Amino acid sequence: MTTDAGNEEDRTTRAYDVVVLGAGPVGENVADRARAGGLSVAVVEAELIGGECSYWACMPSKALLRPVTARADARRVPGLRQAVRGPLDAPAVLAHRDDYTSHWKDDGQVGWLESIGADIHRGHGRLAGEKRVVVEGPDGALTTLTARHAVAVCTGTRAVVPDLPGVADARPWTSREATSAQSVPGRLVVVGGGVVGVEMATAWQALGSEVTVLVRGEEGLLPRMEPFAGELVREALEAAGATVRTGASVSAVHRDAAGVTVTLDGGDTLRADEILFAVGRAPRTDDIGLDTVGLEPGSWLDVDDSCRVTGSDWLYAVGDANHRALLTHQGKYQARVAGDAIAARARGRAVDDAAWGAHSATADHAAVPQVVFTDPEAGSVGATLAEAERAGRRVRAVDYDMGAVAGAGLYADGYTGRARMVVDLDTETLVGVTFVGPGVSELVHSATVAVVGEVPIDRLWHAVPSYPTISEVWLRLLETYRG
């Protein structure tokens, strides 16, 4: 290890090989790989070690949703459904969620970062020119960190709240409140039909709220997935008692003692106890000193496939901050790639940044998997049919009704779901796969392996799914393709 972490005379300047700005899942993993490569690492964190994912995103949202999908699954099994007729025990679900976020304390993750030998600097970090980061501690004290080799910006995102009349005074929920609320609102309006919108609508409707989802335009729910994903999730949300309104744009919000009034374009109004804006994310790069290194504050950072910022040989941007894929698993993949690339470059070792090389996050372009944990679940990897066509590929979509799969019928009485694989007709390999239905989340990785491995259809034919499992949908898709 090459650390020389400061000296007694000047306690405010410390030198490391690598400085990581932001200790979400991505920053933690950059640190881990750089340490594994023998480099000294400082990690700067303004809030909680573990980031958005651990405290206000993946973990709490999935802790809220797991009882919802487990109950729904149980209700679809004859002989079991009568045992699970009642409502969810909302206080118990919220308490379980609190346990999953370690009650918003980060001691466990601090211990892990320390165990890998990274130094933690608490406070807000800002770049101050090339390879320098100034950390403003909770007490206002300033510490300058210098990096011999690299600075990695892993500062993630925050929720966007549209600048509408009355919004600030209405104290709307963002994903943070939606994942950490301590009581169930009577009526909840959710603005936005993307992933956060549908997951949180599913959770809070099941926990007892009367939920209305407002989707502007006619794009429907989950617009980045195959259209049938949003359609099936919408049907299920409505069957659960939620209202989904398309073509509904919010023009103003007003809070008074009785709750929130939401005004729509056209003049309609809705009353609610809370309003959640789930309309996308903005990069947390507005106050990190980007101007001191010639970059635009508040911008997403453009990177190459080793996550090095375009035009720089020392600045990296990894995870949400580079906008390649706003997902924890994909950000951690980038972190492994970037951390290893930083170490290789620092040591003067060969860098393998060709497509699919050890130092290239190639899968970001070809095979990003995602699971939406609604009931039904929606899971996909790679391109949708529309995306593949837009990219100019000669493709064919093969669809199958998952309810016709024996294992699916056993899993859930009256199983409703659909699968699609998008086949590149020139290579006879898969470029995208989507499954929608109960229990499909665990199928997604099989599709990821097929897409990343570019496994030819003729070879996939020999990958025999066990009988009777939901995976038999693979056989049915292949049979449909081969006619």
Ligand X SMILES: NC(=O)c1ccc[n+]([C@@H]2O[C@H](COP(=O)([O-])OP(=O)(O)OC[C@H]3O[C@@H](n4cnc5c(N)ncnc54)[C@H](O)[C@@H]3O)[C@@H](O)[C@H]2O)c1
Ligand Y SMILES: Cc1cc2nc3c(=O)[nH]c(=O)nc-3n(C[C@H](O)[C@H](O)[C@H](O)COP(=O)(O)OP(=O)(O)OC[C@H]3O[C@@H](n4cnc5c(N)ncnc54)[C@H](O)[C@@H]3O)c2cc1C
Task: List interacting residues with ligand X (CB under 6 A).
Answer: 162, 191-197, 199, 216, 223, 278-281, 326-327, 370-373
DSSP-based three-state secondary structure for 472: helix
Cα separation, 447 vs 452, whole angstroms = 9
Q: How many residues does the chain have?
A: 483
- Least gap, CB of 158 to ligand X (angstroms): 10
**x/- track of binding to ligand Y for residues 116-135 (CB under 6 A):** --------xx----------
Give, as one character, the DSSP assignment of residue 312. Answer: -
Cα separation, 17 vs 134, whole angstroms = 15
Cα separation, 444 vs 446, whole angstroms = 5
User: Could you identify the residue written with the tokens 């000296």?
Assistant: 7
Q: Which is nearer to ligand X, 41 or 167 (CB)?
A: 167
328 binds ligand Y (CB under 6 A): yes
Indicate which single residue of 331, 376, 432, 437 sits in contact with ligand Y (rule: CB under 6 A). Answer: 331
Indicate which single residue of 155, 380, 434, 471 sits in contact with ligand Y (rule: CB under 6 A). Answer: 155
Q: Which is nearer to ligand Y, 221 or 326 (CB)?
A: 326
Q: Residue 21: which of ligand X, ligand Y, none does it interact with, CB under 5 to 8 A by kind?
A: ligand Y
CA nearest to 275, candidates 374, 200, 224, 372? 200
51 binds ligand Y (CB under 6 A): yes
Stretch touching ligand Y by CB under 6 A, among 17-25, 112-120, 217-225, 389-397:
17-25
Cα separation, 465 vs 400, whole angstroms = 16
22 binds ligand Y (CB under 6 A): yes
CA-only gyration radius of the chain, Å: 24
- Least gap, CB of 51 to ligand Y (angstroms): 3
Strand 119-122 vs strand 41-45: parallel, antiparallel, or unpaired?
Answer: parallel
Q: Which is nearer to ligand Y, 102 or 251 (CB)?
A: 102
Containing H/E element for 453? Answer: none
Tell me the torsion sign for CA atoms 424, 430, 434, 437: positive
Residue 431 CA neighbour count, 13 Å, CB half: 23
Diameter of the chain measured on Cα atoms: 77
- Least gap, CB of 284 to ligand Y (angstroms): 4
- Least gap, CB of 393 to ligand X (angstroms): 23
Q: Residue 192: which of ligand Y, ligand X, none does it interact with, CB under 5 to 8 A by kind?
A: ligand X
154 binds ligand Y (CB under 6 A): yes
**x/- track of binding to ligand Y for residues 26-45 (CB under 6 A):** xx----------------xx
